[in-house]
Chain A
Amino acid sequence: MIPPMLSANPRLDRWVRFEPDGRARIAFGRMEYGQGIGTSLAQMAADELDLPMARLHVVPAATGEIPDEGLTVGSMSTEFSGPAIRTACAEVRALFIAAAAGRLGCAPADLEVRDGAFLKRGEPTGLDYWALAGDVDLARDATGEAPLKPIERMHIVGESEPRLDLPAKLFGAAFLHDMTLPGMRHARVLRQPGPRARLASLDEAAVRRAAPDVDILIDHAFVALICGSEAAAARAYAAAEATARWEGARDLDPQLAEPASLKTLPHETFRAGAPAPEAANRRRVTATYGKPYLAHGSMGPSAGIAQFEDGRLTIWTHNQGVYPMRGLAARITGLDAAAIDVIHAQGPGCYGHNGADDPPIDAALIAIRRPGPPIRVQWRREDEFGWAPVGTAMLMELTAEVDASGRLVDYTAEIWNTAHTGARGTAVAESALDGYVEPGAQPVRMMPDGARFSGGLLNAIPSYDIAATRTVEHVIFPPPVRTSSLRSLGGAPNTYAGESFIDELAEISGQDPLAYRLAMTSEPRGRAVLEKLAEMCGWVRRGAAGTGRGLGLAYDRHRNRGGFIACAAEVEVEQEVRLVKLWCAADAGLIVNPDGARNQIEGGMIMAASWTLKERVKLGGPGIQSTTWDDYPILRFDEVPPVEIALLNTRDARPYGIGELSQGSTMGAIANAVAHALGARVRDLPLTRERIAAALLAV
Chain B
Amino acid sequence: MRRTIQLTLNERPTSIEVEDTEVLLDVLRGELGLCGARFGCGMGQCGACAVLVDGKVSPACAVEIGSVDGKAVLTAEGLGTPEHPHPLQAAFLELQAGQCGYCLTGILIGAKALLDMNPDPGRAEIAQALAWHLCRCGVHNRVMDAVALAARRMREAVAA
Report A's interface with B, CB cutoff 8 A.
33-36, 160, 162-163, 165-175, 177-178, 180, 229-231, 297-301, 346-349, 351, 378, 380-381, 595-596, 599-600, 602-607, 610, 628-630, 634, 636-638, 640, 642-643
A/B interface sample: 24 pairs, CB < 8 A: A163-B98, A166-B98, A171-B77, A171-B89, A172-B75, A231-B30, A297-B136, A299-B46, A299-B100, A301-B41, A349-B100, A349-B136, A381-B41, A602-B141, A603-B99, A603-B138, A629-B43, A630-B45, A634-B134, A636-B134, A637-B127, A637-B140, A640-B127, A643-B141
Question: B89: which A residues are within 8 A, CB to CB?
Answer: 170-171
Tell me if A299 and B103 are in contact (CB < 8 A): yes
Q: Report the bound CA distance from A597 to B1 in whole Å.
A: 53
What count of chain B residues pass the 8 Å CB interface test? 56
Question: B131: which A residues are within 8 A, CB to CB?
Answer: 636-638
Q: A167-B93, A171-B89 are in contact. Are A628 and B43 (CB under 8 A)?
A: yes
Q: A170-B89, A643-B141 are in contact. Are A299 and B34 (CB under 8 A)?
A: no
Tell me if B41 and A171 are in contact (CB < 8 A): no
Q: A170-B105, A300-B102, A637-B144 are in contact. Are A381 and B134 (CB under 8 A)?
A: no
Tell me if A349 and B102 are in contact (CB < 8 A): yes
Q: Is B135 an interface residue (CB 8 A)?
A: yes
Which one of A165, A381, A600, A602 lies within 8 Å of B42 (CB-CB)? A381
Tell me if A166 and B76 are in contact (CB < 8 A): no
Question: A637: which B residues are within 8 A, CB to CB?
Answer: 126-128, 130-131, 133, 135, 140, 143-144
Question: A606: which B residues are within 8 A, CB to CB?
Answer: 138, 140-141
Q: Report the bound CA distance from A168 to B77 in whole Å.
A: 11
Q: Report the bound CA distance from A35 to B143 in whole Å.
A: 16
Which one of A166, A231, A628, A629 lies within 8 Å of B101 (CB-CB)? A166
Q: Report the bound CA distance from A36 to B107 in whole Å.
A: 20
Chain B nearest CB, measured from A33 CB (Å) = 6
Which one of A180, A298, A378 lies within 8 Å of B136 (CB-CB)? A298
Q: Report the bound CA distance from A166 to B102 in whole Å.
A: 10
Question: A175: which B residues are within 8 A, CB to CB?
Answer: 35, 38, 102
Tell me if A300 and B137 are in contact (CB < 8 A): no
Tell me if A170 and B35 are in contact (CB < 8 A): no
Interface residues of B in 90-142 (CB under 8 A from A): 92-93, 96, 98-105, 108, 124, 126-128, 130-131, 133-142
Q: Is B80 an interface residue (CB 8 A)?
A: yes
Q: Report the bound CA distance from A169 to B39 in whole Å.
A: 14
Q: A170-B108, A381-B40, A599-B99 are in contact. Are A300 and B93 (CB under 8 A)?
A: no
Q: Report the bound CA distance from A173 to B143 in whole Å.
A: 20
Which one of A33, A34, A638 lies within 8 Å of B98 (CB-CB)? A34
Closest to A631 in B: B45
Question: B108: which A residues are within 8 A, CB to CB?
Answer: 170
Interface residues of B in 34-82 (CB under 8 A from A): 34-36, 38-43, 45-46, 48, 75-77, 80-82
Tell me if B137 and A34 are in contact (CB < 8 A): yes
Question: B139: which A residues are within 8 A, CB to CB?
Answer: 599, 602-603
Chain B nearest CB, measured from A455 CB (Å) = 21
Report B's interface with A, CB cutoff 8 A.
22-23, 26, 29-30, 33-36, 38-43, 45-46, 48, 75-77, 80-82, 85, 89, 92-93, 96, 98-105, 108, 124, 126-128, 130-131, 133-144
Tell me if B96 and A604 are in contact (CB < 8 A): no
Tell me if B39 and A300 are in contact (CB < 8 A): yes
Closest to B107 in A: A637
Tell me if A162 and B93 are in contact (CB < 8 A): yes
Chain B nearest CB, measured from A631 CB (Å) = 10
Q: Report the bound CA distance from A7 to B39 in whole Å.
A: 41
Chain A nearest CB, measured from B159 CB (Å) = 26
- Which 8 pairs, one residue from A and one from B, show the smallest C-beta to C-beta distance? A169-B101, A606-B138, A34-B100, A603-B138, A349-B100, A178-B35, A173-B35, A348-B102
Closest to B108 in A: A170
Q: Report the bound CA distance from A595 to B45 in whole Å.
A: 30
Closest to A350 in B: B100
Which one of A35, A595, A605 lies within 8 Å of B96 (CB-CB)? A595
Question: A629: which B residues are within 8 A, CB to CB?
Answer: 41, 43, 45-46, 134
Q: Report the bound CA distance from A298 to B102 in whole Å.
A: 9
Closest to A600 in B: B99
Q: A381-B43, A637-B131 are in contact. Are A174 and B26 (CB under 8 A)?
A: no
Q: A34-B100, A229-B30 are in contact. Are A380 and B136 (CB under 8 A)?
A: no
Closest to A169 in B: B101
Question: A351: which B residues are within 8 A, CB to CB?
Answer: 136
Tell me if A171 and B127 are in contact (CB < 8 A): no
Determine chain B's interface SS by DSSP, over half rule.
loop
Question: B133: which A residues are within 8 A, CB to CB?
Answer: 637
Tell me if B22 and A231 are in contact (CB < 8 A): yes
Q: Report the bound CA distance from A165 to B45 in whole Å.
A: 26
Tell me if A640 and B30 are in contact (CB < 8 A): no
Chain B nearest CB, measured from A388 CB (Å) = 13
Other 12 A-B pairs with CB < 8 A, given A171-B81, A173-B35, A603-B137: A170-B85, A229-B26, A299-B134, A299-B135, A300-B102, A301-B41, A349-B137, A602-B142, A607-B136, A634-B136, A637-B130, A637-B135
Q: Report the bound CA distance from A482 to B81 in whole Å.
A: 42
Q: Report the bound CA distance from A642 to B144 in whole Å.
A: 10
Q: A381-B43, A603-B137, A638-B127 are in contact. Are A166 and B93 (CB under 8 A)?
A: yes
Question: A297: which B residues are within 8 A, CB to CB?
Answer: 136
Q: Report the bound CA distance from A378 to B30 in whole Å.
A: 13
Chain A nearest CB, measured from B101 CB (Å) = 3
Closest to A381 in B: B41
Tell me if A35 and B102 are in contact (CB < 8 A): no
Which one of B92, B102, B137, B141 lies within 8 Å of A642 (CB-CB)? B141
Tell me if B48 and A628 are in contact (CB < 8 A): no
Q: Report the bound CA distance from A348 to B38 in whole Å.
A: 11
Q: Report the bound CA distance from A604 to B139 in whole Å.
A: 10
Question: A628: which B residues are within 8 A, CB to CB?
Answer: 41, 43, 45
Tell me if B36 and A171 are in contact (CB < 8 A): yes
Tell me if A640 and B141 are in contact (CB < 8 A): yes
Question: A346: which B residues are within 8 A, CB to CB?
Answer: 101
Question: A643: which B residues are within 8 A, CB to CB?
Answer: 141
Question: B35: which A residues are within 8 A, CB to CB?
Answer: 172-175, 177-178
Question: B99: which A residues are within 8 A, CB to CB?
Answer: 34-36, 349, 599-600, 603
Tell me if B43 and A299 are in contact (CB < 8 A): no
Question: B92: which A residues are within 8 A, CB to CB?
Answer: 170
Which one of A173, A231, A300, A638 lies within 8 Å of B48 (CB-CB)? A300
Tell me if B36 and A172 are in contact (CB < 8 A): yes
Tell me if B39 and A604 are in contact (CB < 8 A): no
Question: B103: which A residues are within 8 A, CB to CB?
Answer: 299
Q: Report the bound CA distance from A637 to B75 in whole Å.
A: 22
Tell me if B134 and A170 are in contact (CB < 8 A): no
Question: B143: which A residues are within 8 A, CB to CB?
Answer: 637
Q: Report the bound CA distance from A239 to B46 in whole Å.
A: 26
Question: A600: which B residues are within 8 A, CB to CB?
Answer: 99
Question: A35: which B residues are within 8 A, CB to CB?
Answer: 99
Question: B128: which A residues are within 8 A, CB to CB?
Answer: 637-638
Q: A162-B93, A172-B76, A640-B127 are in contact. Are A167 and B82 (CB under 8 A)?
A: yes
Tell me if A299 and B40 are in contact (CB < 8 A): yes
Q: A34-B98, A34-B100 are in contact. Are A172 and B26 (CB under 8 A)?
A: no
Closest to A378 in B: B39
> Which residue among B82, B102, B131 has the maximum number of chain A CB atoms within 10 Å of its CB?
B102
Q: Report the bound CA distance from A380 to B46 in whole Å.
A: 13
Question: A299: which B residues are within 8 A, CB to CB?
Answer: 40, 46, 48, 100, 102-103, 134-136
